[in-house]
Amino acid sequence: MLDTHLLQAFVAVAETLHFGRAADRLERAQSVVSRQIRELEQQLGTQLLRRGRRSAVSLTDAGDALLSESRTALAQLDRAAVAARRAGRGELGRLAIGYVASAALTGVLPVALTAFRTARPDVAVELSALDTPRQLAALADGSLDLGFLRPRSSYPEGLDMLVVHREGWLLAVSDRHRLAHGKVTPVTLAGERFVLPQFDEQDGFEEHLGSLARLGDFHPGPVLRVRDFITAITLAAAGYGIALVPRSVTTLSLAGVVYRPIDDYAASAELAVVWRRNNGSAALRAFVERLRGSALR
């Protein structure tokens, strides 16, 4: 493999056709440039330059052929160096981001992406809508770099978490339901069937429903478990049950549903970002630092 310094010396001499001017351009001693040209010719086994005591320096056919390729090679090396530096600063690369629907509905995700794209437009972002359990699995196996999800009481080894948003809870009920009008408190929810946008877990919304039931001194009974808020609200609108939902879902314009505040229930729904602690991506670090700057204290 040819040494970059040798190619730089050759291109400088070939373009100036003068060893002294080439040395000045490179900020090297003329003797060093002459030695480097001789070394390059030895490595290639052919003469690249014609040198005469009275005649100007000129290129041989081999030198002419090498000049074009050397310019291309050096330009490519420069581009590679620039790309590496930019990637090291988090200005290039790729981020795989997962999110729950609330991250979009609250505006947290769009705002974060807008700020990041403005600061680092050349970082490719791949978004995947995933529930919290699947995000945690994808973060653990490395297929996701960062996830916007609902916080958990514990996380797989090697993950870090930052809470970025809090919002109040509402009750989604059919507009024909008895709770569609009048005051709603935890006590008034006794005997109701709940539609729960969660499955096979005890964390998250299961915990919030449990705390609401304790405040109202009732047992929630059998719940209808679904995989997303839209399904939960749709079933609530149709009268299959009532759903405890974060306030941000009111941005969804679904027919037949009413959102009611719950008096005497001050709990909040949190949104967090989670990422792998050992992820070496500079783009990820830059994204997280931006989130830290606006995170809840």
What are the tens digits of pLDDT across the range 109-164?
A: 999 999 999 988 888 999 999 988 899 999 998 899 999 998 888 888 899 999 99
Report the range of poorest mean pLDDT among 55-64, 106-115, 160-169, 196-205: 196-205
**Spatial separation of the C-alpha atoms in residues 100 and 85, rounded to whole Å:** 33
Please state the pTM of the whole predicted model: 0.69
User: Which amino acid makes up residue 296?
Assistant: L
What integer is the mean pLDDT of 45-50? 84
pLDDT higher at 179 or 55: 179
DSSP 90: T
Instruction: Give the per-residue pLDDT at 88.
Output: 65
Please give the mean pLDDT across all residues of the chain: 86
CA 19 to chain CA centroid, nearest Å: 51
For residue 215, give the H/E element and its range.
Answer: helix 205-216
Cα dihedral 93, 86, 291, 209, rounded to 10, equals 10
Instruction: Give the per-residue pLDDT at 107.
Output: 92
Share above pLDDT 70 across residues of the chain, in percent, rounded to a whole number: 91
Report the range of poorest mean pLDDT among 71-80, 129-138, 181-190, 215-224: 71-80
Instruction: Give the per-residue pLDDT at 204.
Output: 63
Instruction: Give the per-residue pLDDT at 89.
Output: 63
Sketch the domain layout of the chain as residue ranges.
4-88, 93-294
**Gyration radius of the chain's alpha carbons:** 32
Q: Which CATH number fits domain 4-88: 3.40.50.720, 1.10.10.10, 3.40.50.300, 3.30.465.10?
A: 1.10.10.10
**Spatial separation of the C-alpha atoms in residues 5 and 16, rounded to whole Å:** 17
pLDDT range class, residue 253, cuts 50, 70, 90 = confident
Instruction: Give the per-residue pLDDT at 199.
Output: 52
Instruction: Give the per-residue pLDDT at 83.
Output: 62
Q: Which CATH number fits domain 93-294: 3.20.20.370, 3.40.640.10, 1.10.1060.10, 3.40.190.290?
A: 3.40.190.290
Burial code (b: 16+ CB inside 10 Å, e: under 16) for 114-142 equals eebeeebeebebeeeebbbbbbbebbeee
What are the tens digits of pLDDT across the range 224-252?
A: 988 888 899 999 999 999 999 999 989 88
Instruction: Give the per-residue pLDDT at 255.
Output: 92
